[in-house]
Amino acid sequence: MSRVFLPEPNARYGLFDAGDYGEIVYVSRERLNPFDIEYCTEQLVSGLADFDPEHDFICITGSTNTVAVVLAYVTAVFAAPIQLLLFDARESVYRVRVFDPKGMKDAPSISTEARSSSQG
């Protein structure tokens, strides 16, 4: 089953919809301070230790500074496209985007086929 990794707790958006994409996993149980880069990196390393870019998602929530650090980290560590969930406030839904070295894409998620086959 896919998992949805959240960088930090954020009650601003209804995360129950993010759960449609997999089990919710918090990278950190507290707000990350991107200005304390050593601590932030420790939290990312431990919280994303078993992240699988082929099946899992990173839900982009939190401060823009935190999101920047998270994206910098996953770009440096994983040599594969990363599936992101971005909240569309107009439609009140999460949208899948694939982040790779060539840029963001509107694309079906890598694990869409696997999720479809497991549901039906």
> Is residue 74 a contact partner of residue 58, using CB atoms and an 8 Å limit?
yes
- pLDDT by residue (tens digit) across 33-91? 878 888 888 888 899 999 999 899 998 887 788 788 888 888 888 878 889 998 888 88
Q: What is the pTM of this model?
A: 0.76
Positions of E strands within 13-81? 23-26, 57-59
Higher pLDDT, 87 or 120: 87
Average pLDDT, the chain: 78
For the chain, first and last CA: distance in Å?
A: 14
Residue with structure tokens 């920047």? 68
Tell me how far apart the alpha carbons of residues 44 and 27 are, in angstroms, rounded to a whole number: 6
* Full residue range of the structural domain in which residue 87 is found: 3-119
Number of domains the chain contains: 1
